[in-house]
Chain A
Amino acid sequence: MENPKDLKYTKDHEWVRVEGNKAVIGVTDVAQSLMGDVVFVELPEIDAEFAAGEAAANIESVKAVSEVFAPVGGKIAEVNTALEDTPELINKDAFGEGWIFTVEISDSAELDNLLTVEEYGKLLVEGE
């Protein structure tokens, strides 16, 4: 699947969609295919605060448990409660219905540290 051009990415295979002061966060299609079938998602608490790079959620698949890091710092605004009963949304629609949480961005300068779609695509080909 193509990585959407309007998103930002991290080297940990997460995507970020900036909507005003809010960042919507999920994992990429590559990430979900590496993890295999997702069986459980542990979501953060609303209003919990995370610094950029801190683990905010856990995704449990049949293979392993993976951490989801906050790509930018801030307060958790919303979580995708649909994942509680249907964690497979991450497998089915990683860039859409499989979003995980949103953050109220505390420092928009941190967005500059994220990867563009080209940079992420390059990372996938060349490795870290």
Chain B
Amino acid sequence: MSKRLIFEMSRPGRRGVSLPESDVPETELSALIPREYLRDEAPSLPEVSEIDVVRHFTELSTLNHGVDTGFYPLGSCTMKYNPKVNEDMSRLPAFAAIHPYQPEETVQGALELMFLTEKYLAEIAGMSKVTLQPAAGAHGEYTGMAIINAYHRSRGENRTKVIVPDSAHGTNPATANVCGFRIVQVKSDERGGVDLESLRAEMDEEVAALMLTNPNTLGLFDENIQEIARIVHEKGGLLYYDGANANAIMGIARPGDMGFDVIHFNLHKTFSTPHGGGGPGSGPVGVKDFLEPFLPKPVIGVKEGRYYLDNDRPQSIGKVHSFYGNFGVVVKAYAYIRALGGEGLKYVTEHAVLNANYLMKKLRERFHLAYDRICKHEFVLNTANQKQYGIHTLDIAKRLLDYGYHPPTIYFPLIVEEAMMIEPTETESKDTLDQFVDAMLKIADEAETNAELVKEAPHSTVVGRLDETLAARQPVLRFKPE
């Protein structure tokens, strides 16, 4: 099958549209824009007919694999199923057609929805107050760490270090670095949790915070969390909760109760809003009461039944997003929370965890399980059993494409060699999980009996195995006509 770029379909003079004669006087471009900003040559745009364009992009769209077309074990970490009712709600004209500059009294419903979403998220997190401004997870981390920094400074303290465990998401140390902190790494213990001895050794009065994901990236809940919180709080540090894995605790356990002081949620993970190409995201941040003064402004307040935007926040870290964050995404998360209710959200979590443990139990028969414990919403396997046949995790991932699955996250977390991180989420039925298990077990057989088939996979996709090394060493970043 040959897939041409639309540029390669171009024929001089072919047109998809015919523009009407201009009925306003024409002005020389150079009279409007300084000469140095004008291009010398016409841009090389593809010259194609309307039907060429329609066929080209329709065909490309059929090559996508998404959660609406098939199972993928990337889980909520990438994006879980987006219930369609969320989309309907966010498209209601009363939400979609309002303008951020409208007077407060004309958008009371929108403000109420934001106020209530904040309240629900605060309740789920065990926090006192939430801001909806951050546009995604890492932005939430930045906001949370800026709040922590502002808090320490307000007490006349200049704390310079942030502790992250070696199993952390890469965004944690990156965020701390952008906020001007020095990163101190602590090891994981043999059960996959934070090594308490290393933490005690590193924890001192220069540490602003510990950033932790619980359950962590191994899908394991750190049972020492209260002791961890005590160690950090004793020296005046704060605890930051990375909410990337909140799908494993929502409605069951609350980070605020575990001792965390700041949290971000990813609405595009845990609360079922679209992500990536269908985004944008949203990364609300929740804080304990003593941190409320530092939240980004404006904060939504309510007085005598009327909602208003409170800008009178002298200790606020300021705005972190234009207007009030990604409002349309917040509407979708609100719809999700209200459609499921407290009991429903708990049910989501229970099924996410049950599904992961079911898959883990089935797959560990053939694939090595890195940490032998009951997992939360995800678990980490590797290819230690397949190594003797020369099979790497990448080969398994590529072979899964032939069976119609998008592969799981591979080579992360970094502390497990040849890692495969599998997260099914709550919406998948036992039938779907069993089919996926069948495919994985077949691949395990193939690795033993027909290793070349696996090493050369994928065989059924539009393009075969790509040379990732060549692409990284000599990247070709744009199409150039010959």
Interface residue ranges, A against B (CB under 8 Å):
34, 37, 39-40, 60, 62-64, 87-88
CB distance from A39 to the nearest CB of B (A): 4
CB-CB nearest in chain B for A34: B417
Q: Does B68 contact A (CB under 8 A)?
A: no
CB distance from A23 to the nearest CB of B (A): 24
CB distance from B198 to the nearest CB of A (A): 13
Q: What residues of chain A lie closer than 8 Å to B472, measured between beta carbons?
A: 37, 39-40, 60, 62
Contact A62 B469 (CB under 8 A): yes
Contact A64 B468 (CB under 8 A): no
Could you show 18 A-B contacts with beta carbons less than 8 Å apart?
Answer: A34-B417, A37-B468, A37-B469, A37-B472, A39-B469, A39-B472, A39-B473, A40-B472, A40-B473, A60-B472, A62-B468, A62-B469, A62-B472, A63-B411, A64-B411, A64-B414, A87-B473, A88-B473
Q: How far is the CA of A29 from the CA of B411 in the complex (A)?
A: 19
Interface residue ranges, B against A (CB under 8 Å):
411, 414, 417, 468-469, 472-473
Most chain A beta-carbon contacts within 10 A, residue among B411, B414, B417, B473: B473
CB distance from A69 to the nearest CB of B (A): 12
CB distance from A27 to the nearest CB of B (A): 15
Q: What residues of chain B lie closer than 8 Å to A63, measured between beta carbons?
A: 411
Q: What residues of chain A lie closer than 8 Å to B473, measured between beta carbons?
A: 39-40, 87-88
Q: Is the interface of A mostly helix, strand, loop or mixed?
A: loop
Q: What residues of chain A lie closer than 8 Å to B468, measured between beta carbons?
A: 37, 62
Q: How far is the CA of A63 from the CA of B473 in the complex (A)?
A: 13
Q: How far is the CA of A64 from the CA of B414 in the complex (A)?
A: 8
Q: What residues of chain A lie closer than 8 Å to B417, measured between beta carbons?
A: 34
CB-CB nearest in chain A for B170: A65
Q: What residues of chain B lie closer than 8 Å to A62, measured between beta carbons?
A: 468-469, 472
Q: How far is the CA of A88 from the CA of B474 in the complex (A)?
A: 12
Q: What residues of chain B lie closer than 8 Å to A37, measured between beta carbons?
A: 468-469, 472
Q: How far is the CA of A62 from the CA of B410 in the complex (A)?
A: 11
CB-CB nearest in chain A for B187: A128
Known: A37-B469, A64-B414. 16 other contacts (CB 8 A): A34-B417, A37-B468, A37-B472, A39-B469, A39-B472, A39-B473, A40-B472, A40-B473, A60-B472, A62-B468, A62-B469, A62-B472, A63-B411, A64-B411, A87-B473, A88-B473
Q: How far is the CA of A87 from the CA of B469 in the complex (A)?
A: 11
Q: Please give me the 6 A-B residue pairs with the lowest Cβ-Cβ distance, nearest first.
A: A39-B472, A37-B469, A63-B411, A62-B468, A39-B473, A62-B469
Q: What residues of chain A lie closer than 8 Å to B411, measured between beta carbons?
A: 63-64
Q: What residues of chain A lie closer than 8 Å to B469, measured between beta carbons?
A: 37, 39, 62
CB-CB nearest in chain B for A66: B414
Q: How far is the CA of A39 from the CA of B469 in the complex (A)?
A: 6
Q: How far is the CA of A62 from the CA of B473 in the complex (A)?
A: 10
Most chain A beta-carbon contacts within 10 A, residue among B414, B417, B468, B469: B469
Q: What residues of chain A lie closer than 8 Å to B414, measured between beta carbons?
A: 64
CB distance from B467 to the nearest CB of A (A): 9
Q: How far is the CA of A60 from the CA of B472 in the complex (A)?
A: 10
Q: How far is the CA of A39 from the CA of B414 in the complex (A)?
A: 18
CB distance from A31 to the nearest CB of B (A): 12
CB-CB nearest in chain B for A40: B472
Q: What residues of chain B lie closer than 8 Å to A34, measured between beta carbons?
A: 417
CB distance from A87 to the nearest CB of B (A): 7
Q: How far is the CA of A37 from the CA of B417 in the complex (A)?
A: 15
Q: What residues of chain B lie closer than 8 Å to A88, measured between beta carbons?
A: 473
Q: What residues of chain B lie closer than 8 Å to A40, measured between beta carbons?
A: 472-473
CB distance from A100 to the nearest CB of B (A): 17
Q: How far is the CA of A39 from the CA of B468 in the complex (A)?
A: 9
Q: How far is the CA of A57 from the CA of B212 in the complex (A)?
A: 27
CB-CB nearest in chain A for B392: A36
CB distance from A52 to the nearest CB of B (A): 17
Q: How far is the CA of A37 from the CA of B411 in the complex (A)?
A: 14
CB distance from B309 to the nearest CB of A (A): 42
CB-CB nearest in chain A for B419: A63
Q: How far is the CA of A39 from the CA of B473 in the complex (A)?
A: 5
Q: How far is the CA of A97 from the CA of B472 in the complex (A)?
A: 21
CB-CB nearest in chain A for B414: A64
Q: How far is the CA of A37 from the CA of B466 in the complex (A)?
A: 14
CB distance from B174 to the nearest CB of A (A): 12
Q: How far is the CA of A62 from the CA of B468 in the complex (A)?
A: 7
Q: How far is the CA of A118 from the CA of B468 in the complex (A)?
A: 36
Q: How far is the CA of A64 from the CA of B409 in the complex (A)?
A: 13
CB distance from B211 to the nearest CB of A (A): 19
Most chain B beta-carbon contacts within 10 A, residue among A34, A39, A63, A88: A63
